[in-house]
Amino acid sequence: MLVLAGSLGGAAQAPGEHVRIALVGDSTVAEGGGWGPGFRAAFGSGVEVLNFAQNGRSSKSFRAEGFWEPVLAARPHYVLIQFGHNDNPGKGPDRETDPATTYRANLTRYMDEARAAGAIPILVTSIVRRNLTPDAHVVADANVPFVEAVRRLAADRHVLMMDLYALTLQQCEQAGRAGCDALGTLTAAGALDTTHLGPVGQREIGAIAAAEFVRVVLPASPAVDPKTIPAGRLLPLTRARSTFPMPVPRDANLPSLVLVGDSTVRNGQGDGAGGLWGWGDALSQYFDTSKVNVVNRAIGGLSSRTYIAFGHWERVLALLKAGDVVVIQFGHNDASAVNDPTRARGSLQGTGDQTETIDNQMTGEREDVHTYGWYLRRLVSDARSKGASVVLCSPVPRNAWKGAMVVRSTTYRPWAEETAKAAGAAFIDLNDLVAVRYEALGHDKVTPFFPSDDTHTARAGAELTALTVASALGDLPDSPAARFLVPMMRTVR
C-alpha cells in the first residue's frame, strides 16, 4: 500500500513558506521500519514530507511496479533517493542490479526525471546494517559497493548527497552494542532485526537525516534544529518559477524543437493570462507536430545567467537527445542589475571571459558572474554535448521607435551574433527581422501588439514573431528544423 505522509489537500500555506519533500526508497526509509517518520517529525509545519518508500523494493522494482510516477505527480521541491539494500545479488531478477552499471543507470534516470519535473534530486546512501564485531565495529556487508556507487555518482554529476551510511556507522559505533541494538526492533521470530528501525531508531536516525538534509541544502548555515528553520529558507531558488509544470516532449521517439528564453518567448504559464503571449507558444502551428515535438521551456524573468543558476538549463539538458534543435533567446533581463536583493539576474556586458565575484544579495551566496556571451557559449556547448543543434537569436525588439524606424539593439544584438559565430552556432537576427516587419506595418498598427508595456505582446504580436522565427529557421543554411515545417511554410517564406 502506498503511504503518503502529509496531505496534498491540507491547509494552504503562506506563499513562499511551504516545502514539499518526497522520500523514495526501500523499507529502511518507509513507514513502519524506516527513518522517514522521524525525518518528518524533525521539521516544522511548513515542511511537508511525502513518504513514497516501499518495503522490499530495489532501484529497479520501485519503477517497474509503478511507484515512481506518483512521486513526480506530487510536484515536490526535493526528491530524496535511497536504494541499495534490495539491489544486492541474490534478491531475485526483478530487483537485482549491478552497482557499477544498472544501479548507477537507475539512479541517474531518477535524478534526470526529477529535475525535468522541476524538483531537486538528492542522492542518499543506505543506512548501515547494525551488525557489530566483539569490539563494537560495524561489519562491512554486501551493501557497501552500492554506497560507494552513490558517492561516485554524486561526485561525477555534482549532485547533492546525504551520506547516511557514514553518519549511521559513526552513530552505531559510538553508541556501542547496547545503544546500537536499541535502535532496532525484533523480527517475528523474536530475533534482533539489525536492518530495520524501532521507534527509537526511527526518531534518532530520522533526526540525523533531517539535519543532514539541512546541511546539504543550506551549506553555509550553522548546525541548528530543523524545526527552528523557517520553511522559506529551505525552498530552492527556483521556487518563484517552478510553481507550474513545464512542458516535456509529447513523444519521446520524435526529435524535439526546444525553446529556451525569457517571457518574450513564454509569458507566465504560456496560457495567455492577462492577454499576454510569448512567441514560443504560437510557434507549433508552423511545424508538423507528427514529426517533431515543439517544447517551450522559456521562463519569464530569467536571464542567460539565472536560467542556468536556478537549475532550469540542467533540466532541459536532461530532455535533450541527438537530433534535437535548441533555439535560445536571452538579452532583455541580462541588462538588469548584477546584484540586488530581489532578482540579481544581470550578466556582465559583452562576450569576453571576464568575471565579477559577488556576495549575492538575493541568495546569500558567493557567485562568480560572467558575461552574456560566456553564458550563451555555455548553453551552446552543453546542448551540443547532448547531440543537439543550436540556434542563437538576438532578443526581439521592444515597441520603441525613432520616427518611422524601430530602435534596434546596439548591444545584445551584436553580442548574440558574435557569440554564435565564435561558438559555431546558427544565428537568427530576430531583433532586426521583427523590426522590419513592424516597420512595414507602421507604428499605429504595431502599438496594439503591446497592451501592457513596450516588451510583452498580445496574441497578434506573438503570432507575427512566431511566423518570423519559423521562416528564419527554414532559411538557415543546412537548417536542421526546415524539414519539420508544414508545407504552407515552405512556400510563403
Using a 10 angstrom Cβ sphere, with 0-12 exposed, 13-18 middle and 19 or more buried, the burial of residue 232 is middle
User: Which residues sit opposite 24 in a β-bridge?
Assistant: 81
pTM over 0.85: no
Report the distance separating Cα 55 and Cα 249, nearest Å. Answer: 33
The ranges assigned to domains in the chain are: 19-235, 239-492
Of 59, 263, 304, 347, which one is the catalytic site residue? Answer: 263
pLDDT, the chain, mean: 87
Does 85 participate in catalysis according to the annotation? no
Q: So what's the pLDDT on residue 16? A: 43
Of 340, 359, 453, 454, which one is the catalytic site residue? Answer: 453
Q: So what's the pLDDT on residue 492? A: 52
Q: So what's the pLDDT on residue 159? A: 83
Q: In the predicted model, what is the mean pLDDT of residues 204-211? A: 94
- Model confidence at 423, pLDDT cuts 50, 70, 90, reads very high
Q: So what's the pLDDT on residue 251? A: 94
Q: In the predicted model, what is the mean pLDDT of residues 76-102? A: 81
| Most distant CA pair in the chain, distance | 90
Answer whether residue 188 shows pLDDT above 80. Answer: no
Does 453 participate in catalysis according to the annotation? yes
Q: So what's the pLDDT on residue 342? A: 65
Query: What distances in angstroms separate CA 459 from CA 142, 270, 431, 456, one per listed residue?
Result: 60, 11, 18, 10
State whether residue 383 is helix, strand or coil. Answer: helix
Tell me, yes or no, if the two domains 19-235 and 239-492 fold the same way: yes
Q: So what's the pLDDT on residue 93? A: 65
Q: In the predicted model, what is the mean pLDDT of residues 264-283? A: 90
Q: Which CATH architecture has domain 239-492?
A: 3-Layer(aba) Sandwich (3.40)
**Contacts made by residues 473-480, CB under 8 angstroms, sequence distance 24+:** 473/327, 473/391, 473/428, 476/391, 476/426, 476/428, 477/426, 479/426, 480/323, 480/325, 480/389
User: pLDDT for 277-290, tens place per residue?
Assistant: 999 999 999 999 99
Does 304 participate in catalysis according to the annotation? no
Q: In the predicted model, what is the mean pLDDT of residues 123-136? A: 84
Task: Report the share of the chain in percent with pLDDT over 90.
Answer: 59
Q: So what's the pLDDT on residue 89? A: 62
Mean pLDDT lowest among 29-38, 138-147, 188-197, 455-464: 188-197
Q: In the predicted model, what is the mean pLDDT of residues 54-66? A: 92
Q: Which is it for strands 78-82 and 120-124: parallel, antiparallel or unpaired?
A: parallel
- Model confidence at 239, pLDDT cuts 50, 70, 90, reads very low
Task: Please check whether residue 462 is in contact with residue 277, taking contact to mean a CB–CB distance below 8 angstroms.
Answer: yes
Report the distance separating Cα 144 and Cα 153, nearest Å. Answer: 14
Contacts of 406 (CB under 8 A, 6+ apart): 397, 400, 435, 438, 439
Mean pLDDT lowest among 5-9, 110-114, 262-266, 283-287: 5-9
Task: Please check whether residue 262 is in contact with residue 300, taking contact to mean a CB–CB distance below 8 angstroms.
Answer: yes
Strands (E), 26-179: 47-51, 78-82, 120-124, 160-162
Of 77, 85, 370, 456, which one is the catalytic site residue? Answer: 456
User: Which residues sit opposite 138 in a β-bridge?
Assistant: 132
User: pLDDT for 328-386, tens place per residue?
Assistant: 999 999 999 999 866 789 999 999 999 999 988 766 678 999 999 999 999 999 999 99
User: pLDDT for 149-170, tens place per residue?
Assistant: 999 998 887 789 999 999 998 8
444-483 as b/e: b if 16+ CB within 10 A: eebeebbeeeebbbbeebbbbbbbbbbbbbbeeeebbbbe
The cell numbers describing 360, all together, are 549575492
Answer whether residue 270 shows pLDDT above 80. Answer: yes
Q: So what's the pLDDT on residue 28? A: 92
Q: What superfamily in CATH does domain 19-235 come from? A: SGNH hydrolase (3.40.50.1110)
Q: How many CB atoms lie within 10 A of CB 387?
A: 11
